Amino acid sequence: MSLWVFIALAAAGFQTIRFMLQKVLASVTLTPAGATFSRFVYSMPFIVGGLAAYLTFAERDLPALSARFWMFASIGAVSQILATICVVALFKQRNFAVGITFKKTEVIQTAIVGLLVLGDQISAAGWGAILLGLLAVLILSKPGGSDGVWHQHLTNRAAKLGLGSGVLFAFSAVSYRAASLQMAETEPMLRAAVTLAAVVSLQTIYMLIWLMWRDRSEIARVWQARRVAVWVGLTSLAGSFCWFWAFTLQNAAYVKAVGQIELLLSLCASILFFKEKISAREVLGMGVLGLSILLLVLTL
């Protein structure tokens, strides 16, 4: 089995733990924006410091970073900020496993984004998998005990947040791969580290400016929550590095497809850690979505 597969599996594991911690922060301490900011501000010192230490002891120079690199890094950074805010806000609407399942529509949406932006073609079987995924979203979009026709539930707040996060995560994954490929002469691990350091630095600056403008008191609350938030930063560091490393080795769509193991991990976390109940409808929806993703992977 290829190295990038194991790296993607590790990334999914770290990401599940990080979202669990962010759900706790958003539920009892911070706003979705504050929980998102904690991810970046507490991981940036470790990322930048680690990269600087490696370059110093290895006597290496920082690779040249072109304007195209910074363009893709900025697009990915902003997309990931907005996507993370959507997911954390979604946790307030639905249980943990359903929130992660909505997020995982990013695999299907990556195929659509690739078609629209890059002209990547999708086979008839691929379109079938996408339609099956849309059926799963319809099933999941209706909360338990609610009434009304199907399209009303597709446009509810939880569905909008989930689908929106999927689109934004799709754009961020493609952008990060594009940014790392601007350093084609550099080995994959160093490309991943440089891209990650640049992106997280941008995200920290962007979020700090936003919170200083809109909600300065949230910055103080992020500091007060540091005992939990620092672990958000560390798990984010580990997960992000694995994602970025995998993106340098393989197509982002394949990497994200392997990362669907996060669905099973989130289901376990929802039941065992958060003690949340999963309805039969939600289990059916997650199963159908998982099948659609599997079929899509087989057609790639």
pLDDT tens digits, the chain, 300 residues: what are they? 578 878 888 988 888 887 777 777 766 677 878 878 888 898 899 889 989 998 999 888 888 899 999 999 999 999 999 988 887 777 766 666 666 667 767 777 776 776 776 566 667 776 777 677 667 766 765 555 545 544 454 556 776 787 788 889 888 888 888 888 888 778 888 888 899 999 999 999 999 999 999 889 999 988 988 888 888 888 888 888 888 888 888 776 677 767 767 766 777 777 777 677 777 777 787 777 777 767 766 765
Per DSSP, the chain holds a count of helices (H) and strands (E) of 15, 0
Contact between 195 and 176 (Cβ < 8 Å): yes
The pLDDT of residue 73: 94
Chain center to CA of 55: 28
Chain center to CA of 194: 19
Structure tokens at 167: 């689109």
> Residue 144 — φ and ψ, nearest 5°?
-60, 135
Q: CA–CA separation, 102 vs 88, rounded Å? A: 12
Q: pTM here?
A: 0.74
